[in-house]
Structure 1
Amino acid sequence: MNHNDRIEETIRSIYHTFEHPGAHPVDAGLGAIDTWIAALDGLGGSALMGIQSQLRTLRTHVERDDRPAIAASLQQLGQDTSLAARDLHGETGDHLRHLGQTLVIAAGNLKVS
């Protein structure tokens, strides 16, 4: 699976989680986080390392079901993802910007739920 497909799958998964909160087990979310950590491994760059670190933090919060911390982590990931996509053009940049927005929206939804 290429990165654009993985990004779109992640976006669909985030929306599905909020549309069907009881249908998305924690294990599936942890698996998705682990997949992204592995996908970013070795790509280098301080922005990607920061995102990878934040994904590890998010994983810990999900394991503990710490909703305020999950929301804060999603917010930070959305901002970091959008920043990383800032200078990217074409389909990948568009997908990353959409993912960044989706993560920020997810954080807001989680804060009010």
Structure 2
Amino acid sequence: MNHASRIDKTVRNIYDTFDNPGANPLEAGLGDIDSWIESLDGLGGSALNGLQKELRNLRSYVERDDRPAIAATLQMLGTETSRIASNMHSLTDNTGDQLRHLGQTLVIAAGNLKMS
């Protein structure tokens, strides 16, 4: 699966989780988190290593259903994803735009979780 497809799938899954919270099994969400952790493996760089660490934290918070911690981590991941995307304007495959959309979606998901 290419980056564009993975980003799109992640965005759709986040929205689906909030639209149909009972229909999304925990294992599927953990699988998505694991997929992102694996896709960042070996890419290096402190920003990506930080994202990987936060994704691992998110995984443990989801397993424990620690909603305040999930919301805080989603907020941080969204902000950091948007920051990284802002440096990707020159890409012709729209990855930067898709990452900005993912960043916004993560921030919105954090806000929705805080309000629920």
TM-score w.r.t. length of structure 1: 0.98
- 1:82 counterpart letter in structure 2: S
Which of residues 101, 105, 110 in structure 2 aligns to 1:102? Answer: 105
Partner residue in 2 for 1:111: 114
User: Pairwise CA RMSD of aligned residues?
Assistant: 0.7
| Deviation of the 1:102 alpha carbon | 0.2
Identity of aligned residues (%): 68
Q: How does 1:3-82 map to 2 (within 5 A)?
A: 3-82=3-82
* Residue ranges of structure 2 left out of the alignment (5+ in a row): none
Q: AA paired with 1:9?
A: K
After superposing on structure 2, the runs of 4+ consecutive aligned residues of structure 1 that deviate more than 6 Å are none
**Structure 1 position 15, deviation (Å):** 0.3
Q: Give the letter for the 1:111 counterpart.
A: K
Output the TM-score relative to the length of structure 2: 0.95
Q: Tell me, which stretches of 5 or more residues in structure 1 are unaligned? A: none
Q: Is 1:84 equivalent to 2:50 in the alignment?
A: no
CA distance in 2, matches of 1:41, 1:7: 17
Alignment size in residue pairs: 113
